Structure 1
Amino acid sequence: MYWYKPLKRYTLFAGGLLLLGSWYACKPEIKETGATLKYFDMKDFFRADSARLAAANKPVVKTVTHNGVTETKKLLIQNWGQEFGLFVSSDINKPAWKDSYTIQQNADSIVYQAKFPELKTRRLVIKKQDGKVISVSVLNNISNLLYNTTEKLMYVPGKYYQIEKDQKVKVMGANNYVVKGVF
C-alpha cells in the first residue's frame, strides 16, 4: 500500500484548498462589514418598500405589453421582492465599482452616471423632496455579440412602477416589453 501516503497528502491539500475557497466565498456584503456605501442603497430601499407594500396588501392595476399586445389585470402582488427584482439588480454598491460612477448632486436629485461602457447600469437618478425619495429611474444596457438589451426602469412610490425592456437578439429578432403597475 505504498500509494496510500501520497493519496492522503493530496486529499489533505485538496481539502485545505476547498476550505480556503469556501471561507473566501462566504465573505459578508459591504454593509455587513460596517463600511459606508458610496452610492444610493437600492437593495435597502426596495427591501423596505417591498415590506411596506406587502403589509398594505392592496391590489395593483398591472398592464403588460409584449410587442404591441397588451393585457391589463387588477391583482395582488404576492412577492414584491421578485416584482422589484430588476431594480434591486441595478444596485451599484459593489466594492469593485466604488469609483465607477460619477455623482452629480442637484437640489432635488442625485444622478449616478457610469464611467465605463461595460457597466450594466448606465444611469441612476434618485429624486428627493424633503429628504424622502419621490422617484427612482434606472437605465441599464447590456450589449455583446449575441444580443443588445436596454432597460428603462421607473418607480414613483405610492403611484406606479414601470419597466420598459427592448431586446434585440441576433438570430431571433427583437422583443419589446412594457410592464406598468399602478397603485
Structure 2
Amino acid sequence: MYWCKQLIRNYKLLCSALLCISALASCRPDVHESAGDKRFFDLKGFINADSARLNRAHITVTKTVAHNNDVAQTKPVTITNWGQELSAFSASDINKPAWRDGYSVKQEADSVVYTALMPDLVTRRMVIQQNDKAVKKIHIENFTKNLLYQTTEHLVYYPDSVYLIDKLQEVKLLGSNRYVVKGVMK
C-alpha cells in the first residue's frame, strides 16, 4: 500500500511540474511593432486612419463591379465599413519584421517606389505618391503563384476620389476568373 501512495504522490509532482513548465513556456511577451519600427510606408496605418475618416464622413460612392468582362453593374452605395472595403490595400502592407530587407526603396521626385527583392513576396511593387506629406495616390501590384493557381492584383487608391481593385486569378483545370471593383467618391 505504501508504494501505491508514493506512486500517486510522484505522479502528482510530475503533473504539477509539467503544468508549471508549460505555463512558463507560454508566458512570453507578444512582439508588437511600434510606429518607430516601421521601415517602409505604414500602409496599414494609413488605410485604417483613412477608413475611420471616411466612415465618419458617410460618403456615397458610385460603385462599379465587373466579373469576367461581363456587363458591369453600377450603382450608388453608401459604404458603412470602409475598413472592409479597402481591406485589399491594408492586406498589402509590407511592414513585417521578416520582410525588413525584402524590398528596395527608390525615392523619385514626388513618390517612393518599393520593389520586392525576393520572388516569394506577394506585394511585388508599391508606389506611394505624395505632395507636401499628403498621400495623393497609392498603386500596388500583388502576385501569388503556387501549384494550383496564380493571382495577379492591381490596386489603385486616390484618397477622396477613386479606388480600383483589379484581380485576375487563373486556376488550373478551372480557368481564369477576373473581377474589377471601381468606386468613385462623391
Q: TM-score, normalised by structure 1?
A: 0.90
For 2:77, give the aligned amino acid: L
| Residue of structure 2 equivalent to 1:167 | 169
Which of 152, 156, 159 is residue 157 of structure 1 equivalent to? 159
Task: Name structure 2 gaps, 5 residues minimum.
Answer: none
Distance 1:146 1:4, change over 3 A: farther
| Residue of structure 2 equivalent to 1:20 | 25
For 1:30, give the aligned amino acid: E
Q: Deviations over 1:7-26 (max 9, x none)?
A: 652454255335523x44x6
Distance 1:5 1:99, change over 3 A: same
**Aligned mates of 2:152, 2:162 — CA distance in 1:** 20
| Residue of structure 1 equivalent to 2:56 | 55
Q: Deviations over 1:127-158 (max 9, x none)?
A: 01122110001011110001101110000011
| Residue of structure 2 equivalent to 1:128 | 130
Residue 107 (structure 2) pairs with residue 105 (structure 1):
yes
Runs of 4+ in structure 1 deviating by more than 6 angstroms, as ranges, are none
For 1:132, give the aligned amino acid: A
Residue 148 (structure 2) pairs with residue 146 (structure 1):
yes
Shift of 1:71: 1.2
Q: Deviations over 1:49-95 (max 9, x none)?
A: 10111111021011111111211121111111111111101000001
Count the aligned residue pairs.
Answer: 179
The 5 A counterparts of 1:34-49 are 35-49=36-50
| SS of match in other structure, 2:52 | helix
For 2:113, give the aligned amino acid: V
Shift of 1:96: 0.9
**Aligned mates of 2:110, 2:92 — CA distance in 1:** 21
For 1:104, give the aligned amino acid: K
The percent identity for this pair of structures is 44
Distance 1:114 1:14, change over 3 A: farther
Q: Deviations over 1:78-133 (max 9, x none)?
A: 11111111110100000111111000001200000000000011001000112211
**Aligned mates of 2:157, 2:63 — CA distance in 1:** 14
Query: Could you tell which deviates more after superposition, 63-72 or 113-122?
Result: 63-72
**Aligned mates of 1:150, 1:178 — CA distance in 2:** 12
**Aligned mates of 2:181, 2:24 — CA distance in 1:** 44
For 1:46, give the aligned amino acid: I
Shift of 1:3: 5.2
Shift of 1:4: 5.9
**Aligned mates of 2:139, 2:9 — CA distance in 1:** 62
Distance 1:37 1:13, change over 3 A: same
**Aligned mates of 2:178, 2:24 — CA distance in 1:** 46
| Residue of structure 2 equivalent to 1:30 | 33
| SS of match in other structure, 2:152 | strand
For 2:53, give the aligned amino acid: R
